[in-house]
Amino acid sequence: MTGSLLVTGGAGFIGSRIVAAALESGWRVRILDSFRDDVHASPPSIPDGVDVIEGDVADAVVVDRALDGIDVVSHQAAKVGLGVNLDDAPDYVASNDLGTAVVLAAMGRAGNRRLVLASSMVVYGEGLYLGSSGEVRPAPRSAADLAAGVFEPRDPGTGELLRPGFVTEDAALDPRSVYAATKLAQEHLAGVWAHAAGGRVAALRYHNVYGPGMPRDTPYAGVAAIFRSAIERGDVPRVFEDGGQRRDFVHVDDVARANLAALDWTAEQPEATVRAFNVGSGTVTTILEVAQALADTIGGSAPIVTGDYRAGDVRHITASSDRAARELGWTASVPFADGMRDFATAPLRA
């Protein structure tokens, strides 16, 4: 199923891959992007045949124009990353939450009722953990444990160290950064809009997305880009804690395909439908394994495990993407080894 598609943030890392995949599938595509300097150090390349509107998603006049004649919206525009400090909070809220509210209000005026929302696994906070009695919500890791090199969370009742499991979309939500709080607020705003306007929302909770065109050398870059940049500079990649932090790294092209599947899904749902979907590879990978894979491919120094830590960091977060497989008909197809091998030499964004 195709039609006319608006991709907000369509010149960005993930948005640009959605645009390319949508064009290949026969969609008519329009991009709304602010082309912020902190995201685009140089003008991005826009494919032929794409209508481009430059402007901010928080500008209602611009958004109204961008929605003219559009069937469905893929809302990717956002300030990403965990930020540096609380001074980032106003920009995160303005970009992510005010921007989303403006888009939703404009969709209401335009009579557009189909939305795919870029959310994130950060809404969960810590992942799912198992103790001797079953699933357990972990206590915050203590300063004493971290200083002693005990990095696994504990059962708040028994004190036993917990084992990580796979998070489903029904898990409790516990955002632990400004960015995470704004992503959860985006989901809530979209839910309110769907019920008020009869909309259909697929909220895609991306896990650790990597691939060509990923931003590099910024405080907001993903860990894969940070490791790669360090190796290319001739530095030793430094891995915090013991390197055993579990994550799910999913290739950006798989994420683009998930968006196309979700666009089709919105056309089939009844009014006022809101559904969250984990978008991950289904493969557990440790942070140390990422650093080692990049070092092996690029030929740089082997990573070192520092034992350093940051209070408040999430220890493990890996997800089940079974719901996306069942309901969207989507599964990731790029194996970690292949994706990292290509990523190690792929062009990145300055």
Lookup: tokens for 68 = 């003219």
Q: Residue 179 catalytic?
A: yes
Count of alpha carbons within 13 angstroms of residue 72, beta-carbon side: 24
pLDDT at 143: 93
Instruction: Name every residue whose Cβ is closer than 8 Å to that of residue 33 and which is 6 or more positions away in sequence.
Output: 8, 9, 10, 11, 12, 15, 52, 53, 54, 77
Strand duo 114-120 + 200-206: pairing: parallel
**Domains (ranges, CATH) in the chain?**
4-128+165-345 (3.40.50.720)
Q: What is the pLDDT of residues 122-159, one digit of tens each?
A: 999 989 999 998 999 888 899 999 999 999 999 999 99
**Regions of the chain where pLDDT drops below 50:** none
> Which pLDDT belongs to residue 219?
54
Distance CA 203, CA 74 (A): 10
Check residue 45 and give its pLDDT: 82
Catalytic residue (one of 179, 206, 210, 309): 179
Residue 62 sits at φ, ψ, to 5 deg, of -65, -45
Phi, psi (deg, nearest 5) at residue 231: -65, -40
The DSSP secondary-structure symbol of 122 reads: G
Pairing of strands 238-239, 304-305: parallel
pTM over 0.85: yes
Q: Give 161: exposed, middle or buried? Use CB within 10 Å, 0-12, 13-18, 19+.
A: middle
